[in-house]
Amino acid sequence: MSSLSIVGISGSLRSGSFNTSLLRYVSTILPENVQYTELSIADIPLYNADIQAEGYPEAVAAFRDGIAAADGILIVSPEYNYTIPGSLKNAIDWASRPPAPSFSGKPVGLLSASTGIFGGVRGQAQLRYIMFAVNAIVMNRPEIYVASAAQKFDADGILTDQTTKDLLAKYVDSFMDWVNRIGRK
C-alpha cells in the first residue's frame, strides 16, 4: 500500500504540554507506511482580513499547505475554560479561508488531555462543532479523553499509563481505517 501522509496539530504552545506529549506518543505508533509531520500554530498571527488581503503570512501559508497536503489530520488539544484555546481556534479560522479551505473534506481525529478529571471532553465537543463548520470529516468513535494527565506522563513527558496506551492503539487502528476510507487522495 502506498504511503499516507498524516499531520498532527497540538493546541498547546506550552513546552511541557501534555497534549503535545500525547500527540508525539500517537505519532510513534502510527503504521510504518505513514509519513508524519507536526504542524505548528505557534507563529500564526491573530486573524485579520486586512493581513489576509495582502497575502497569507508565512506561518499561515505553511499551516494551510500542510493541512491541504495531508491525507488525515490529528488534532490534540487542551480545554481552556470549557472550549479550545484561542490560539487553535485562530489557526483554524485562518485555515478556513479561501481559496481551497484547508480542512474541507479531510478526515480528522480529535484527542484531548487535561489535568482535570474530565479529560477535556467539553473542549473536544466544541472542537467537533468547529470542524463541522470547516467541513472536516471527524471520526466519531472511539473517543479519547486523557484525564488527570499529570498522573499519566512522567517528568519528561513520556506517556506511562498502560491503559491509555492500549486505548490509543485501538484509536490509531480506527483512525487509519477512517483515513483509508475517506482521505485517500
Ligand X SMILES: Cc1cc2nc3c(=O)[nH]c(=O)nc-3n(C[C@H](O)[C@H](O)[C@H](O)COP(=O)(O)O)c2cc1C
Binding site for ligand X (CB under 6 A): 12, 14, 17-19, 78-82, 113-116, 118, 120
- In whole angstroms, the minimum distance from the beta carbon of 23 to ligand X comes to 9
Q: How far is the CB of 12 from ligand X (least distance, A)?
A: 3
Question: Cα separation of 29 and 50, whole Å?
Answer: 41
Could you give the angle at which helices 58-69 and 86-95 cross, rounded to 10 degrees? 70
Could you give the C-alpha distances from 22 to 9, 93, 114, 123, in angstroms and in order?
11, 24, 11, 16
Nearer to ligand X, 47 or 118 (CB): 118
CA distance 172 to 28: 10
CB atoms within 10 A of CB 39: 21
Which residue lies nearer to ligand X by CB, 12 or 102? 12
Residue placing its CB nearer to ligand X in the complex, 106 or 152? 152
Using the minimum distance from each CB to ligand X, give the nearer residue, 71 or 79: 79
CB 157 to ligand X: min, Å: 9
**Cα 153 to Cα 24, 121, 128, 147, distances in angstroms:** 12, 19, 25, 11
Rounded least distance, CB 169 to ligand X, Å = 21
